[in-house]
Amino acid sequence: MVDFAPVPVTLPWGDPSPPETPVEAKHGRPRTYSLVVTGRERKAINRNYFNSYVWKPALAQAGVIAALETSSQYGARIWEPSREHGYHALRHFYASEELGAGESIVSLARWLGHSDPGFTLRKYSHFLPWAGARGGAAIDAIFA
């Protein structure tokens, strides 16, 4: 971490306190985070850049999606649509791994930026195959 120290980057969201300006009311209050991975300008990586130049090429190299054949006339990289393998799939993978390891819905909701843990529960409850097992084990222990 000494050679590649985290870079403080202020992002336009993340502060849960009430907004002080109309812009903050619309977009959220800025908050500074220490990022380990940044772009060339030492700022947060743009999701479209990451998707086009990092994520999709990695999927193509792995044979998950078709390789890029042509670009648009303006130089934009046009990839085959792949929602099931899209960048957002990383978020679901992260959530499923956290829940599979026994993390709480409340903590996961906070990390994912969900204001309502109920939303997180509805979205990811199918990743909780062990749900209820601890309660059942507790009752079994009482009567053992």
Report the amino acid identity of residue 116: D
Please state the domain extents for the chain: 1-45, 46-82, 86-143
DSSP code of 78? -
Both tokens assigned to 120? 């997180």
Task: Between 122 and 24, name the one with better pLDDT.
Answer: 122
Predicted confidence (pLDDT) per residue in 37-93, tens digit: 888 888 888 888 888 888 888 888 998 888 877 666 666 677 777 777 777 788 888
Distinct helix (H) and strand (E) counts, the chain:
7, 2
With a threshold of 0.85, does the pTM exceed it?
no
Q: Are the C-beta atoms of residues 103 and 95 closer than 8 Å to each other?
A: no
